[in-house]
Structure 1
């Protein structure tokens, strides 16, 4: 095996938004991206109380973090989306999926609701795992 496989096995729900299994070959460089919030380079929260706007900034930050490790959105294996209770999940996932739209197969995705996040006013946080076969 010389590439990452994202699988949607028979017997599990088919979704254009996520895959169920990822197989990373030996020798691939694994990249872990810690939780990204909707903050700019100075640490200021972006997007106010608009979860869609915050999610777009989070995805920009995720892209920047991946690029620092020599990877891109196309190298995502798994994404964890954490949302504050009460926000519109469709607005958040819609904004995130815009960044993932060009992928031939989507990464694994997990989402959860929490009471609050570490950054005051943050409504969404995303962490990710990527892998690059060189």
Structure 2
């Protein structure tokens, strides 16, 4: 089965952190990870007002959710990262940059929002992933 294609076309900005287009071949299983905040297993907010700490925890929560569905970071087709208006976006991205960067990075959509559903949350991260069927003989 062909691999997932992540494309960075000439004429568009080249970034190690994101691609512009992804093509998922037929037969792949699509996995949707709902917005993950910086909360622990009890639902308590972690990281206080530190957007970097919150971003790192939200990213770890997203990775945990992916793993529960049999996927990993390399299977992510698109990340969506929402920051609350006024949060230090650069600090938030620095906290998750290593997880986003690769030779074929996923697509990334980021937005500033007025607020999130979890009181005190400064960031929310969701993902769409695709897992190809095992092609081993």
Task: Please report the RMSD computed on the Cα atoms of aligned residues, expressed in angstroms.
Answer: 0.9
Partner of 1:123: 122
Partner of 2:93: 93
Structure 1's consecutive aligned runs of 4 or more residues displaced over 3 angstroms after TM superposition are: none
Offset of residue 104 of structure 1: 2.2
1:95-129 CA distances to partner (integer Å, 9 max, x unpaired)?
Answer: 1112234x321100010001110000000001110
1:70-109 CA distances to partner (integer Å, 9 max, x unpaired)?
Answer: 00011110000000000111111111112234x3211000
Offset of residue 58 of structure 1: 0.5
When normalised by structure 2's length, the TM-score is 0.94
Extract unaligned runs of 5+ from structure 1: none
Aligned residues: 133
**Whole-angstrom distance in 1 between the partners of 2:5 and 2:124:** 26
When normalised by structure 1's length, the TM-score is 0.96
